Amino acid sequence: MAGALASAMLFAFPVLAQDARLSLADRVSRLEQQTQNRDQNGTGLVNQIQQLSSQVRQMQGQIEELQHQLQVLEDKNKAQYGDLDARLARLEGGGAGNASAQAGTPAAAATTAATSASASGTPASASSSATTADPVAAQAAYDQAFQSIRNGNYAVASREFRAFIQQYPNHALVPNAWYWLGQSYFVTTNYGVALDAFKQLVSQFPQSDKTPDALLKVGYCQIELKQVDAAKATLKQVVAKYPGSDSASLAQERLQRLQIQAGG
């Protein structure tokens, strides 16, 4: 009986030892599998983060593009709806009538001619044709050009405003004509020519109501022409020279956007 028990135990110990080894091997295998799964999960998480970062960059690019398109649309709306020039156009019509009445007297015509000649450095005879030009025809020419830009006929408007400036260089609406000439080029992405027109207004008519917005548009043109440093200087000039104005507010907003883009 004792021999049989001993024999059974001899057979049982190898089996138990083998079971223990198998159990340990299984445990190690499970641990290795868990570790591998964690590594795979970690790699997957890294890949997801990279994908999310790429998507964020793409969205930032789309946002910047949408901001640019929005600005273009805003500029087009300003051109089409006159940036309050619908009301100004009516006032300008009344102003032209007053100018016409004053110019109808010989003394007023002579005084205007002398003043224009003195300011331009040309003889009175050279400037008399401009001062004695038909004010009704001048107003009609301006109105026609203004209507063209409101209708979105920018190429036509640019020709008409340029013709108005050349034909009536001393007219009170010349600053406005320079502004809308620049605007007609800006909305058609002719930024270099638009820049020249806006600069002409700023330099020749610093006291004009259009000058703050023209200076703002100088900055906009410089941005489009990749002259970022010059654009920042121009926009800061708008903020400093015309505090509290709509132009200053828009300039400050664009400066902040430039700073965000530079940081991104």
Q: Are residues 166 and 217 in the same domain?
A: yes
Q: Are residues 231 and 118 in the same domain?
A: no
Q: Are residues 144 and 246 in the same domain?
A: yes
Q: % helix / strand / coil in the chain, to the nearest 5?
A: 85, 0, 15
Q: Is residue 115 part of a domain?
A: yes
Q: Are residues 243 and 117 in the same domain?
A: no
Q: What is the mean pLDDT of the chain?
A: 74
- Rounded to 5°, angle at Cα 145 from 144 and 147: 65
Q: Are residues 111 and 163 in the same domain?
A: no
| pLDDT, tens only, 143-198 | 999 999 999 999 999 999 999 999 999 999 999 999 999 999 999 999 999 999 99
Q: Are residues 233 and 116 in the same domain?
A: no
What is d(CA 215, CA 62) in angstroms, rounded to the nearest whole number? 28
Q: Are residues 193 and 212 in the same domain?
A: yes
* Residues comprising the chain, all counted: 264
Q: Is residue 33 part of a domain?
A: no
| pLDDT, tens only, 184-240 | 999 999 999 999 999 999 999 999 999 999 999 999 999 999 999 999 999 999 999
- Whose CA is closest to 149, among 141, 161, 167? 161
Q: Are residues 142 and 212 in the same domain?
A: yes
Contact 241, 212 (CB under 8 A): yes
Q: Are residues 128 and 179 in the same domain?
A: no
Q: Is residue 49 part of a domain?
A: no
Q: Is residue 72 part of a domain?
A: no
pLDDT at 62: 60
Listed in sequence order, the residues at least 6 apart from 112 whose beta carbon sits closer than 8 Å to its beta carbon are 103, 131, 170
CATH of the domain at 187: 1.25.40.10
Q: Is residue 28 part of a domain?
A: no
Q: Are residues 98 and 225 in the same domain?
A: yes
Residues of the domain holding 126: 104-132
Counting the structural domains of the chain, the total is 2
